[in-house]
A and B are shown apart, each in its own frame.
Chain A
Amino acid sequence: MSRQLRALLIGMLGPALQAAGAAWDLLEHGVFAPAGGELITLTHIVSGPAHLMMATGFAVSVVCIPIALQVAAASPEELAPPEEIPNELELAGELRTAEAAK
């Protein structure tokens, strides 16, 4: 996958979630409860699933847009998937093996 495509996907994930949340909200108020304006309370605004999805999309954008810029400027080596994080015991074992080989 090219770095431009990776950067585009990273940058668009948050806005895509926001768009899905907006569509959900329109569906809810347009289809599920078209005449339910009186049911819109503060609790509904704060905890409505569609509203929280839009908020999540915004938070994802805040974290991801700087990463998208870094990815767009990164070299292919930097974009390689990170290897398993070696744990301290394995590292100590490798060190002992290397010392024994000397």
Chain B
Amino acid sequence: MMLVINPGDLIREVGQLQAHVHGEGDAPPGHAFFGAGFLFIGSLLVVEQLAGGVWSRAFWRRMLWPAALLLLGAGMIVVARVQPDDKSLHLTLAMLLLLGAYTEAQYRLGKISRTAADAFAIPALIVGGFVIGPMHSNGNLLSSTMAQAHLLVGVLGWLLAGVKLMRVHFGPTLALEYSFASGVMMLGLSLLLVEQFHGAH
């Protein structure tokens, strides 16, 4: 069987998708900045694995992950303050990010074990996935691209929780560390995709 695709038709179909357009008076585009933040810190988590002990030579590099979570949590508080809708959802995400920053900082300072930090991170990722996915999707999941993109972010949160659970079960392995780091990058990319189809939020 031969599948024939006319490039002109394909381009026309893809062209029907929404362009990233902001209108006058639209709310500030939050998803894109959070997406860029997660993409940045996810890339650095990948580099942390590649660089091995070289990464830990500088204290500030070791603290970049909790610092990024802190900054994103503070940003989410601003979003909760500015956005007229979904305040409770944004505040929930802000609290999860800030508490995550605290536990990750405690781990990286040697105050708590990885297991103790994961005891917070795993439920936080599951709850965060529900909040940003099904609860925040704002549309029909079957017909709205934006709702589907939101759900993708939530699913990625759950997948990250799954990677953390496997780490607890099997112990630390390079494959799981790289999976978590690239998962955070994917989370950032999915938020950028949400912004692409969202236009304004």
Which residues of A are at the interface with B, using a C-beta cutoff of 8 A?
Answer: 1, 6, 9-10, 13-14, 17, 28, 31-34, 36, 39, 41, 43-44, 47-50, 52-53, 55-56, 59-60, 63-64, 67, 70-71, 74, 77-82, 84-91
Contact = CB atoms under 8 A, between A and B. Distances in A.
**Most B C-beta atoms less than 10 A away, residue of A14, A17, A82, A91:** A82
B43 interface: yes
A9 B178 CA distance: 13
Contacts of B108: 85
Contacts of A81: 49, 52-53, 174, 177
Interface in B83-109: 107-108
Contact of A85 (B15, B17, B110): B110
A62 B50 CA distance: 17
A41 B29 CA distance: 13
15 contacts: A6-B51, A13-B43, A13-B46, A36-B19, A47-B22, A47-B28, A48-B20, A53-B192, A64-B43, A80-B53, A85-B107, A85-B110, A85-B114, A86-B110, A87-B113
A10 B116 CA distance: 30
> What secondary structure prevails in chain B residues at the interface with A?
helix
B73 interface: no
A90 B113 contact: yes
A84 B172 contact: yes
Interface of B: 11, 14-15, 17-22, 26, 28-29, 32-33, 35-36, 39-40, 43-44, 46-47, 49-57, 61, 107-108, 110-114, 116, 172, 174, 177, 188, 192-193, 195-196
Contact of A87 (B33, B56, B110): B110
Nearest to B26: A43
B22 A41 contact: yes
A88 B111 contact: yes
B29 A32 contact: no
A6 B21 contact: no
Contacts of A53: 36, 39, 192
Contacts of A85: 107-108, 110, 114
